[in-house]
Amino acid sequence: MWLGARKGPDKARTLPSRGRVSDLNWHTRLLCVLCATTLLQTVGNLRVMSGVVAAMAANAICDNTPGLTPKQKQMCKATPDAFAAVSEGSKLGLTECQYQFRHHRWNCSTARGNATFGHIMIVGSKEAAFRYAIASAGITYAVTQACSQGNISFCGCATTSKADMVAANTPISDDDLTSSAAWKWGGCSPDVKFGVRFARKFVDAREIERDERTLMNLHNNKAGRKAVRINLQTECKCHGVSGSCTLKTCWVLLPPFRKIGDHLKKKYYKAQFVRSTTRNTNKRSGPNSVSSDPTIHNMDLGRSKVPFLALHKPARESWARQQSTVRRSPPTLQRPKRAELVYLYESPNYCDRDFSKDSLGTTGRLCNRTSSGADGCSKLCCDRGYNTYQYIRTERCRCKFHWCCYVQCSECTERVEEYRCK
């Protein structure tokens, strides 16, 4: 009876407390919902703010990048992720140019330093042809690579076709190509077509003048883009029982950029001398007519005559005389091939410092005393002689691995000589 009497008051006491706990849980849940809603709104606002900040940063970068035309700035602001790839491609082209000409009098240096945008070369020489071509190739390469890596939001992997396999110099035979069961595409092939289109739209946008130098730059820009396409590589993997190759999975790869640089260096040695001329155009223009040439698609050149580049015998007079020589139309109207580099003026000797000729001179350049090539002191220093410098170089040597586990080395010194042009 005593226990039962105690049980009643206990229940009476506990019931209100349970009700308060329930009310507390309801208020706590409501507070959590309000906090979560506020947090989501804050995160959303932060995302909007971050987007605004990113847009402002992109606009500032595009407006303050030297050498960009108004159209290029517009493209930069509209596609900042693609412009990041363009910047990387420009630097890639400059670095490759400096490597290819590291032993030449002209070592890819200009009066504008390491500028990557704008008209970076004054003289329409072979060196300018290579510089514009390698820059165009670098931008095409970097944009294509960024697409395949997912770094650009509006492009991705390529849909590869038989024509792309042929363009990529694939080793697959025609019988394999005609048999749908023999091979299939796999992986993420780079969308080089998009890279070419974007690079053409961006790089060619700076050629706004209407002269033969514009025609030269446009041609070499195209040669650089074409160098990327014709050097694509195809890689295949065989599938089958016991090592047989009943099925091939193939994909296209971008080559190392050094291969494209080597390709354009060969084109540099075979660069063709051209002059601009005009030809009357009819209203009916066929696909092979001059007026339909995409090289001059963005130039308003009149209704009756369209200038274009034609092969010409190289001039042998000095560069200064070339500047004052009246340009005459070549006797033949043979046009250079699209993959070839073209130039308008013979190169200066690059021996002396002259910014008007894109020459920084060779004074102070390192040379090889025993070489008879382009890096030899006699040729690189333009027969001015060289200075010899001696210094002591300290380096690690006689390294040994001790168990376990460290490497112990000695320090060795040697006397080193280097030679610099006077």
Torsion of CA 52, 53, 58, 61, to 10 degrees: 150
Nearest to 295 by CA among 321, 274, 315, 266: 274
Q: How many CB atoms lie within 10 A of CB 213?
A: 19
Element (H, E) at 37: helix 2-64
Regarding whether 343 and 393 lie in a shared domain, the answer is no
From first CA to last CA, the distance across the chain in angstroms is 120
Q: What percent of the chain has pLDDT over 90?
A: 43
Who has greater pLDDT, 262 or 63?
Answer: 262
Alpha helices in 65-116 (DSSP H): 70-78, 80-100
Residues 87-97 as b/e (b if ≥16 CB within 10 A, e otherwise) read: bbbbebbbbbb
pLDDT in tens, 129-183: 999 999 999 999 999 999 988 888 888 777 655 555 555 454 454 445 444 445 5
Evaluate whether residue 233 is within a structural domain.
Answer: yes
Here the CATH number for the domain that contains residue 415 is 3.30.2460.20
Regarding whether 230 and 164 lie in a shared domain, the answer is yes
By the 8 A CB rule, do 188 and 142 touch?
A: no
Domain count, the chain: 2
Regarding whether 287 and 326 lie in a shared domain, the answer is yes
Whether this prediction's pTM lies above 0.85 is answered by: no
Q: Which residue has the tokens 């290579």?
A: 130
pLDDT of 241 > 70? The answer is yes
Evaluate whether residue 415 is within a structural domain.
Answer: yes
Regarding whether 215 and 81 lie in a shared domain, the answer is yes
pLDDT in tens, 311-325: 887 765 555 555 555
Regarding whether 317 and 169 lie in a shared domain, the answer is yes
Regarding whether 395 and 343 lie in a shared domain, the answer is no
In the sheet that holds 233-239, the strands lie side by side as 183-185, 247-253, 233-239
* DSSP secondary structure, 242-259, as one string: GG--SEEEEEEEPPPHHH
pLDDT in tens, 256-303: 999 999 999 999 999 999 998 876 555 444 444 444 444 444 444 444
Token digits of residue 241: 């029982």
Per the omega criterion (within 30 degrees of 0), is the bond before 404 cis?
Answer: yes
Q: Where are the beta strands (DSSP E) in 281-371?
A: 305-311, 342-343, 353-354, 359-360, 366-367
pLDDT in tens, 100-130: 999 999 999 877 666 778 778 889 999 999 9
Domain extent at residue 100: 63-354
Cα distance between residue 85 and residue 103, in whole Å: 29
Point out the domain boundary residue: 354, 373, 405. Answer: 354
Cα distance between residue 281 and residue 92, in whole Å: 40
Evaluate whether residue 19 is within a structural domain.
Answer: no
Evaluate whether residue 156 is within a structural domain.
Answer: yes
Regarding whether 85 and 131 lie in a shared domain, the answer is yes
pLDDT of 53 > 90? The answer is no
Point out the domain boundary residue: 326, 354, 382. Answer: 354
The dihedral region occupied by 52, where left means phi > 0, alpha psi between -120 and 50, and beta the remainder, is alpha
Point out the domain boundary residue: 354, 376, 398. Answer: 354
